[in-house]
Structure formats: C-alpha cells, structure tokens
Amino acid sequence: MQTLDPTILQKVNSWLQGSYDADVKQQIQKLLDENAVTELTDSFYRDLEFGTGGLRGTMGPGSNRINKYTIGSATQGLANYLKKKYPNEKIKVAIAHDSRNNADLFSNITAEVFSANGIHVYFFEALRPTPELSFAVRQLGCKSGVMLTASHNPKEYNGYKAYGADGGQFVFPEDQAVMDEVAAIKSIDEVKFDRVDENIEVIGADIDQLYLDSIVKLSVSKDAIKRQKDLKIVYSPIHGTGITLVPKALEMFGFENVILVDEQTTPDGNFPTVVYPNPEEKEALTLALKKAQEVDADLVLATDPDADRVGIAVKNTDNEFILLNGNQTGSMLINYLLSAWEDAGKLTGKEYIVKTIVTSNLIEEIAKAKNVKFYNTLTGFKYIGELMTQLEGKETFIGGGEESYGYLIGELVRDKDAVVSSAFISEMTAYYKDKGSSLFEALVDTYVQYGFFKEKLISITKKGKSGAEDIKAMMAKFRSNPPATLGGSKVVQLKDYEMGTETDLNTGAVSKLDFPKSDVLQFITEDGSIISARPSGTEPKIKFYCSVNGKLASKEAYKETDKQLDAKIDTIIQDLGV
C-alpha cells in the first residue's frame, strides 16, 4: 500500500480543515479514502505557478489544480501587487474568458475578488478572444487584465493569463513580483471573495466594434481584395471564441464568401468534434478540410478556443489540401507584409519584425533581403509584446510570430492574435491569387528565393511530479553531454539560455548570450541545422525543435528536396535518442 508524503498530507489536511466548500472537502476525503496517492500527490505537491502562459492546469481540488481557490488566490495576489505598484491611484482591470468549462464561473470569481479589493473591473458580457482582452486593457487604460483560458489544451484544463498595463503578459521582474504576492497568501481566508457590484462594469459590443474598425485600418491590399472578394474561405472556430469576431473581421475586410464549419461553430468546452482543440493537430481540422473539399475552397482557417492561434490549409500543385505549419505560415505572412509595404512605398527604414529563437530562420533571411530590422526573442509571445512596448514610438512593428501558430500584425495588442491573423492570411491569399498564384506556389517561390527551410517539432509528454523530474533529468543530460554530431553534421555551437552562454565547440571559446534566463538548449551544426530543447512552460512536455535547410534549385525540384530534408530531420531525431 502506497503512503502519502508527510508534507503533502499536511497540505491535504489544511484544505480539509480550512475555509473551503463542503463539496471540495468531500472530493478530497474520497481520494484519501481510496488511497489515491498519485492523484493526491499531483494535486497538492506544489502551488500552481505562472509560466510562459500564466496559470494553467487541470481542473479539480488541490493547490496544483485550477479551482475557485487557486483562481481566487492568484487574483488576490495580483490585486495586492497592483495596489502596491499603483498606490493612491484608481486601478482598473479588464476580464474576459473563452468557451472552456467553468471559464464563466472562474471569470466571475476573478471579478468578485478584484471588486472586493476596491478595483474597477471591466467585465466582458460573454466569451471573447484573448487578443481582444489585450486590446481592451490598452484601450481602457487598465493597469492589468485577466483572460480565463487554457488556450489549445484538452478539455480537462483551464487557466489564467495575467496582463500588465501595456496589454502584454507579465514578464520578469513583474511576473516574479506577482508570484511573490500570490505565494505570500498563506490562507484562503486572506482572499476577499465578497463581490462589490458597483465596481464591476459590463462591456462588449462597443469594444468589439472599436477593435474590428482598428484591424480593418491595417489592411494593405484593399484593391486585391476587391478583385478577389469571392475567394472561398472555410472557417472553423473549433467550438471557441473565434466565432464572435473572425467572420465579422473577414466580412469587414471585404470577403464575401466565408463558409463556416457548422458542426464547430457553437462554443462548447467539451470540444465534442475533436480530440484536442488545437489547430496544430491535423485531426482538429478534419471537418474543415472535408468542407473545403466539398466547396473547392481557396483557403482553410481554424482558430483555437481563445482565438490567439490559427492553423491553415491550402491546395498544393496536385490540387490536394495540405496543412501549413506555423513556421511556413509565419514566414509567408512576413514575406507578404514586407512585399506589400514595399509595393505601397511604406518602408521608411524604421520598421521591424520579430520572431522567437525556435522559429524558422527563413523569416530572418526575408527581413535581411528587404533591409528590414529583425529581432529574436525567447519563446513565449510575452517577450514579443515586451519588445514592442520597449520600441513603441521609436520603431514601427509590422508583424511577428512564433512557430506555435501565433502571429500578430500591427501594434493594437500585445499578444498573438488569430483575429487579425485570419484577416491577413485571407488578404495574403487574395494578393497572390490576384497575381495568378496560389499561396502554396508562393511558398515554393519563397523557398527558391531565400532557401528551403524545413522544421519539425517533437513533443514528449511527461505528466505529474515524476514527469517533471524526468524532464529535468533529460535537460541536465543534454547540458553535461551535448551530442557530437546531428544528422551527419558536427555540432559546432551550443547555446545555453539558462546559463546565458554560447560555446564554440571547436575552440572552446565561451561568450555571453544577451537574453533573459530560460531553460533552453540549442545545438547548431556545421551545415546550419538548429536543434532546440525546451521544457514547456504551460504543459507537462519537453519539446525538441528541429530546423534544417538547403538550396531549392527550382520549383520542379521541390518534392525531391522536401524528401531529402525530411530524411535529415529523421536522422537528427534518431541521433537525439528521444
């Protein structure tokens, strides 16, 4: 018979004896009676912490679960932080939620705690996309904002994204300061749950209109859209918040032939038609692809539950629908934006684009060729948002993104935005169609011009306390014993973002990396392949990002070169031993 660690048992008992609801105590007692040691351990072995995406976890009782009390404590900690940071000021916050189960309940709890702390709450009347929350924080002069979402995670999950006054997620040292305030709450009795109605103001349609009007002003290729207004676009919100704004944004851009995937338009936290509500997964686009084949669509768009990520599918030269990955879509968006800005004579030398360190270097090559400044940030869109805020008023942000299907165009928000991205992916498709090309053909042309960059993500799930320890051990092993060769090419450079060092493995010379600390390792080979290892900040996963590249001699050589690069990636994965 397994026994519970004494420290964890002490925490369990504190919940059984504390000011928690009777039904929560019953659930915990039932787990104790059943000797559910593993579940109790996973539920109580730590307190949920803010990672790259804020607070996120499975729902249920316990300090390591998403529930009324962890949400309440996070909000009380955030309220304490805001009151210390902005003494004697009227503090305003905005709150929104997505379609997840209990998201409405948790958003109300968040509003109650803020209001009880004397903070004015702008509360969205119903579900809304994450980027609109960021927009509202900026537009309404808020000091903070909270989005209740677990993004593209399975239905058991929920989460809490906290935003600063710039509309971006908190970054160091502010995120640490908020975490410290949350950790300082030693009892649930310190959380003020008593709602103050006069401190809560409901918002909705007015902000929607302002946001959509602002997005439409960003459009660069209005004439191409006029000529291609009948472009057939199939769209699925995958049971999420995208349905509230994406179809309207496409209509306002001038697209008149948007076809919805009816089975997935109703918001539903059980996500009944998919295994995971994640547009990175081909399975999540099954119904959208079926509809696209029926109507012979030009473009397929699918957004995740909180509409900050978008996946797309296009027809290849064999007239088959294929999914583009995040690196391909991001590269195409940057290439399109820079070309369209160039065509319009809008490039002045003050513009810039941004990508993350694990996102395709094809974006870098395009920016160099167009003489547009580019920046790299750590993984997590909050770092892109932080950079945008630092450069605001000095340089002009055109667009940016990360390989995990998150992109942003324009400076309206400080988070990835599937609403504006869906509109611009459609505009880009119209732009190329107007020139007699498809999006896929334009992608191949891009490879011919700048080099064929191919990426693959390997994601390994390790759940619970033991899984977290396994991931830590894997990273330690790679740090102490980096691979000598990968994909038949010598590893010549090791970048360790945790240690802040870059090592030339040929000479042993060590230089400093100018990035904040982050648990990421990058192996760079002699032939230019880049392999990154990184534990996820929001999921029980370790991720390996493989990027290889080569020359594409001609469009006709695409298939053969594609196979060669795939084979190289397979060899690298074997060499990694994961």
- In sequence order, the β-bridge partners of residue 486 are 489
Nearest-angstrom CA–CA distance, 140 and 123:
12
Nearest-angstrom CA–CA distance, 105 and 127:
12
Residue 293: CB partners within 8 Å, gap ≥ 6?
A: 321
258 contacts 285 by C-beta, under 8 angstroms = no
Structure token digits, residue 282: 């081909």
Q: What are the distances in angstroms from CA 53 to CA 383, 415, 536, 548?
A: 11, 11, 10, 28
303 contacts 242 by C-beta, under 8 angstroms = yes
Query: Which run of H or of E encompasses 452?
Result: strand 452-461
Structure token digits, residue 490: 């010598």
- In sequence order, the β-bridge partners of residue 401 are 355, 407
Residue 181: CB partners within 8 Å, gap ≥ 6?
A: 77, 78, 80, 81, 84
Half-sphere exposure of 333 (CA within 13 A, CB side): 35
Structure token digits, residue 516: 């904040």
Q: Which residue do the tokens 């809008």 mark? A: 346
Q: Which residue do the tokens 């498709």 mark? A: 429
Nearest-angstrom CA–CA distance, 181 and 63:
16
User: Positive or negative, the Cα torsion across 550, 556, 558, 559?
Assistant: negative
92 contacts 120 by C-beta, under 8 angstroms = yes
Q: Which residue do the tokens 């079926």 mark? A: 290
Q: Which residue do the tokens 């006709």 mark? A: 556
- In sequence order, the β-bridge partners of residue 453 are 549
Residue of 73, 115, 151, 421 with catalytic role: 151
Nearest-angstrom CA–CA distance, 388 and 301:
27
Nearest-angstrom CA–CA distance, 489 and 369:
27
Please provide the DSSP assignment of 252-270 as one string.
Answer: HHT---EEE-GGG-S--TT
Neighbours of 37 (CB within 10 A): 16
Write the DSSP symbol of residue 51. B
By C-alpha distance, which of 339, 343, 337, 342 is closest to 355?
337
CB contact burial 224-239 (16+ within 10 A = b; e otherwise): bbeebeebbbbbbbbb
329 contacts 440 by C-beta, under 8 angstroms = no
Q: For the purposes of burial, counting CB atoms within 10 Å of the CB of 202, is it exposed (0-12), middle (13-18) or buried (19 or more)? A: exposed
- In sequence order, the β-bridge partners of residue 455 are 547
Please provide the DSSP assignment of 317-338 as one string.
Answer: TTS-EEEE-HHHHHHHHHHHHH
Does 554 qualify as catalytic in the annotation? no
Catalytic residues: 151
